[in-house]
Chain A
Amino acid sequence: MNIINIEHIAKIYSVGNQEVQALRDVSLQINKNEYVAIMGPSGSGKSTLMNMLGCLDTPTHGKYEFKGQSVSEMSDNELAIIRNKEIGFVFQTFNLLARSDALHNVELPLIYAGITGHERKERARKALEEVGLGDRSHHKPNELSGGQRQRVAIARALVTRPAIILADEPTGNLDSKTGEEIMALFNEIHEMGNTVILVTHEEYIAQHAKRVIRIKDGLIESDEEIENRTLPKVKVNLT
């Protein structure tokens, strides 16, 4: 099934009185339970594409359909609902609320989804347990290691059971061993039936995915299956 359908989208920013074409003409489809890496050097337009896929931004031209709904014509409010229900973000800098503990951070999307009381707490706790942080739920981000913080962010992304998990350089701020653990976690998440989109500029990270889309100068350079994908060396057990 087709979750994301993008046809000929372009994004033009105006910086001062100069126009910058971040995306020129991009078309792609992503199906359910795919594991896709989007690669490209900085300035290639991959961040813009990620913002577009994540419904944080809308294209200047072209068609973007998310589960059959046209995102290009959505209002701010509708975009917020899509982001809340269908997209789980994982950022390079974790982007947790610094003053809130892990549990509250994971609860946050459920708050905006209108889920109340006991159910909300239970689901948040379960998501934290899934990423192996069941015993850290009352720790604040500054009391956690980088890897643990990223796990909290992953739990936050998973907790609403979104259609896609969108990870932007998820290992960028981590040492290689911790990065490896996080990649193993994404592998598990994918194997549980989730659709994972990974945005990275590092080849060895991209090699964990099953399909890699390369972006250059606002255009798709290549879009191919990975034959010998890297399987995680460490084993994580998702419960």
Chain B
Amino acid sequence: MKVLIYELKEAFLIALRAVRANKVRTILTTLGIVIGVASVVLMSTAIKGIDNSFEQGISSMGADVLYLDKWEWFSNTEWWKIRKRPNISMAEVEQFQQLSKLSAAVAPTLWSMETVKYQENSIENVFLCGTTAEYLETKNFTFENGRFFNEIESRGSRYVCVLGFEIAEGLFPRGNAVGKTVKISGLDFRVVGVLAKQGSFMLGSFNPDKRVFLPIGCIFKHYINSNVRSITIEIKAPNTGMVADVKEESIGIMRKIRGLKVGEDNNFSVNQQEGLQQNYNQTVGVIQIAGYLITGLSLFVGAIGIMNIMFVSVRERTKEIGIRKAIGAKRRTILSQFILESSMICLIGGFIGFIIAVLLSMLVNQWLPTSVQYDSVVVAIVISLLTGVFAGLAPAYQAAKLDPVEALRYE
């Protein structure tokens, strides 16, 4: 053990001398690994970032919330068959609310795209979401300011609204939106609350930050008719363990309301965030694998570069190897010297690459969510070490098995 440590230490020092003696070459070779490690680390931070924001977004949808909808989120059924289904009407919602016993909260939602204005600030294509006061109970919303509209306001279809964080930020750059009156496609609405930032990159317009909430009656009255677009009923189970039961009950209730006979297919769907998760894992999983493969390829190219240089280096230093062997270097001493040399080059490259990746991901984070995992330091080190050993193995073996007589004669 002691001998091994000694030999490794000496081989390390010898390798260090060699690395320092060939500075320019070392720098150029390292570049390949720098780029390789940087791209792998960058890819992993991007993937992690997207994952995180998706997790965040999906948790804001709630694992215990069911979405009773005309549409099925992920289905193989032809869309034109689904299109023929009847829209869910407000009357059905009211019946449903009365019949549902297991659910903790039931809230209808209906959306419309409108322009929202405050003084000279205006945002187009805002996702307007009409709902009831109970909606708050199906979500884990927290508020930046103010509150959600209450039961009286929602039943009376009062002209009040709650702004998503980004909408409030856009309309009221100086803050303090509560109490102000905004114009939604020409009509005045009083802001009663602003949501705290929910932060979700993946969900797009589903992102509550980009939405405006108002009593569902106002949507009917001014923006859209339930004949045109179906209502979605959000049903919250009392806990995640109850989700299956609530789903069962909801299907039963809806079949009863619709008067479906035994054997007839449901003409509605009960959707769950779980489906979204599965769908995400499928599509993004493929992208992730492709991403790692492509960036892994750049690392591989870097490794080939190192291997190439190591072969050249062994050839160039044939005489040196001969001298070392003549004065007593064993095969394994030569082997470890060259493997350590390539590992060292890779390690330096890996370290620089990691730093570049961290800096770049900070920059990229302005547009895309990235998340630097500090355990990826370890990943970067391990990857670059393995690359070094891999790249150094064949050249080092070639050096180790050189015949000392031949090597000494080499000019």
Contacts and interface: CB of A to CB of B under 8 A. Distances in A.
B115 to A, nearest CB: 73
Interface stretch (A112-120, A122-130, A170-178): A112-120
B326 interface: yes
Interface stretch (B293-301, B316-324, B361-369, B385-393): B316-324
Contacts of A111: 10, 14
Contacts of A156: 327
Interface residues of A, number: 27
Interface size class of B (residues with CB under 8 A): 20 to 34
A160 B326 CA distance: 13
A80 B3 contact: no
Contacts of B204: none
Interface stretch (B186-194, B272-280, B303-311, B329-337): B329-337
Nearest to B404: A56
A77 B3 CA distance: 15
Contacts of B333: 112
B405 A80 contact: no
A160 B404 CA distance: 20
A109 interface: yes
Given A95-B408, A114-B6, A89 B330 contact: no
B263 interface: no
A85 B326 contact: no
A80 B329 contact: yes
B378 interface: no
A211 interface: no
Of B322, B323, B329, most buried by chain A (CB within 10 Å of CB) is: B323
Nearest to A89: B326
Given A51-B405, A76-B331, A116-B6, A83 B326 contact: yes
B358 to A, nearest CB: 35
Contacts of A34: none
Closest 6 A-B residue pairs measured CB to CB? A84-B328, A112-B328, A80-B330, A109-B327, A99-B21, A95-B323
11 contacts: A56-B408, A57-B404, A76-B330, A80-B330, A99-B21, A108-B324, A108-B327, A111-B14, A113-B328, A114-B7, A116-B6
Interface of A: 51, 54, 56-57, 76-77, 80-81, 83-85, 89, 91, 95-97, 99-100, 108-109, 111-114, 116, 156, 160
